[in-house]
Amino acid sequence: MPAQLNATAINCSLSAKGRESSTDAMIAVLAEEFAAQDVTVSAPIRIAAHTVKWGVSSNEGDGDEWPRIREQILAADILIFGTPIWMGQPSSVAKLVLERMDAFLDETDEQGRMPSYSKVAVAAIVGNEDGAHHVCSQLFQALNDVGWTIPAVGGCYWVGEAMGSTDFKDLEHRPRMISKTAKMVAANATHLAGLLKKSPYPG
């Protein structure tokens, strides 16, 4: 019997407000496909709604809510890293989260393994227009630096035509290619996370 797997989703929108975001909408598409793989996905953690301090340590002191978010992320087998695109780049909030994970480099166990080892990360990216491949490149490089494994086809994204302003959450129909890609991302991530859960990196 395969191990039961779970995923934590984070939403790096610039907005703290609870209202519907396109990033949430993309995370929801992936969550559906993860559910079809019997993976439980947490309600997305809206980073901007929390006090996450700037820094590169795991605890930046008084009032810093990163330690709790960090715990939720590391309690899961899979990380769904959701971010909007701004100026063709990941959001500043996404960058903030990556910087806080920089601390993993110094938090290795006796086998030299970071706390993210044997865990899988995937990307959920939305923007009005252009930038998704670049955001993937930035997330994959930084996440991989600090120990995450990236499954085949590790990103699902939507952007509209160049210089457009349509929001993913306002699309009347979910594009067929998005559904197809989300299914691949979820299937690959689940398979890989299952393998690594049973047989973690030896370090």
Site for a second copy in 149-178 (CB under 8 A): 149-155, 157-164, 175, 177-178
Residue type, 14: L
| Residue of 23, 20, 147, 137 whose CA lies nearest to 80 | 23
| Contact between 116 and a second copy per CB under 8 A | yes
Which one among 131, 182, 186, 193 touches a second copy, defined by CB under 8 A?
131
- Taking CB under 8 A as the criterion, the residue among 9, 138, 186, 193 binding a second copy is 138
E strand or H helix at 126, and its extent?
A: strand 120-129
Contact 79, 5 (CB under 8 A): no
> x/- contact string, 54-93, with a second copy (CB under 8 A)?
xxx-----------------------------xxxxxxxx
Judged by CB, which is closer to a second copy: 78, or 178? 178
Question: Nearest Cα to 141, choosing from 115, 121, 126?
Answer: 121
According to the binding rule CB under 8 A, does residue 95 interact with a second copy?
A: yes
Chain centre distance of CA 153? 14
